[in-house]
């Protein structure tokens, strides 16, 4: 089943188009990586999907519904969860309080208990303010917040940015487990090789266009992909 369908998306700010005609699909319980160099349009793509870019046109559907006609909060209601690169938790609130303030959750207590079971490191520090967490713990909390609403797909914008190598591995391991709990993932990621290694399919953006796409294993084996976007073979 196709969850997210993007066709000929154009998006940007003012009179400048950053995304210039992209076709992307994400299927149920699938991990898809969007890679590319800095300035390729990756984060603009993520913001356009969530309705956070002033101009966006083309086809943007989720489970057959037109996202372009929806406000950002309504896109969350239909099953899209978004973890932005920065400011994805409330620093002054504890772990539990960060989960309690998520709207649109029917039984907060039960869902919080599920999230703490899913992320044991958070359970051990549930009364600690987010500002005192490590970078890896903060990212786990951001994931838990996004999962509170029981989404069908998580949109992750540079989830490993500014993390140490050990924490990067932990984040990718968490993403790898999402399909097992019924959640697809669209991962916007600078670390293309590591992200593709846990993905089913991938897209490579350059100057706002998808210049390469295919099965993740095929992209990893492509010599041109390795030279231009993976730092060599």
Answer yes or no: is 32 within a domain.
yes
Predicted confidence (pLDDT) per residue in 124-167, tens digit: 999 999 999 998 899 999 999 999 999 999 999 999 988 888 88
Q: What is the dihedral of CA 196, 198, 202, 207, to 10 degrees?
A: -50
Residue 114 lies in a domain: no
Domain limits for position 37? 1-79+186-233
Question: Quick check: 226 pLDDT over 80?
Answer: no
- Percent of the chain exceeding pLDDT 70 equals 99
Q: How many domains is the chain partitioned into structurally?
A: 1
Q: Is residue 10 part of a domain?
A: yes
C-beta separation of 96 from 76 below 8 A: no
pLDDT tens string 37-77: 888 999 999 999 999 999 999 999 999 999 999 999 999 99
Establish if 85 belongs to a structural domain: no
Give the pairing type, strands 31-36 and 55-62: unpaired
CA 175 to each of CA 74, 143, 196: distance values in angstroms, whole numbers, following the listed order: 24, 9, 12
User: What is the chain's mean pLDDT, rounded?
Assistant: 93
CATH of the domain at 194: 3.40.50.300
Is 211 inside a domain boundary? yes
Q: Tens of pLDDT along 116-125?
A: 999 999 999 9
pTM: 0.94
């Amino acid at each position: 089943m196709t969850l997210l369908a993007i066709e000929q998306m154009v998006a940007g700010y003012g009179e400048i188009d950053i995304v210039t005609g992209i076709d992307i699909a994400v299927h149920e319980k699938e991990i898809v990586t969007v890679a590319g160099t800095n300035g390729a349009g990756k984060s603009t793509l993520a913001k356009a999907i969530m309705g956070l870019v002033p101009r966006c046109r083309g086809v943007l559907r989720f489970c057959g519904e037109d996202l372009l006609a929806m406000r950002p909060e309504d896109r969350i209601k239909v099953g899209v969860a978004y973890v932005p690169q920065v400011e994805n938790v409330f620093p002054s609130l504890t772990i539990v309080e960060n989960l309690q303030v998520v709207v649109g959750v029917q039984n907060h207590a039960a869902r919080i208990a599920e999230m703490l079971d899913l992320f044991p490191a958070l359970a051990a520090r549930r009364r600690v303010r987010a500002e005192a967490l490590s970078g890896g713990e903060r990212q786990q909390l951001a994931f838990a917040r996004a999962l509170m609403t029981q989404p069908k797909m998580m949109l992750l914008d540079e989830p490993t940015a500014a993390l140490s190598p050990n924490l990067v591995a932990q984040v990718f391991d968490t993403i790898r487990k999402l399909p097992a709990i019924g959640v697809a993932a669209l991962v916007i990621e600078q670390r293309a090789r590591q992200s593709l290694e846990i993905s089913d399919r991938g897209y490579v953006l350059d100057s706002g266009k998808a210049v390469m796409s295919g099965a993740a294993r095929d992209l990893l084996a492509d010599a041109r992909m390795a030279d231009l976007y993976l730092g060599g073979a």
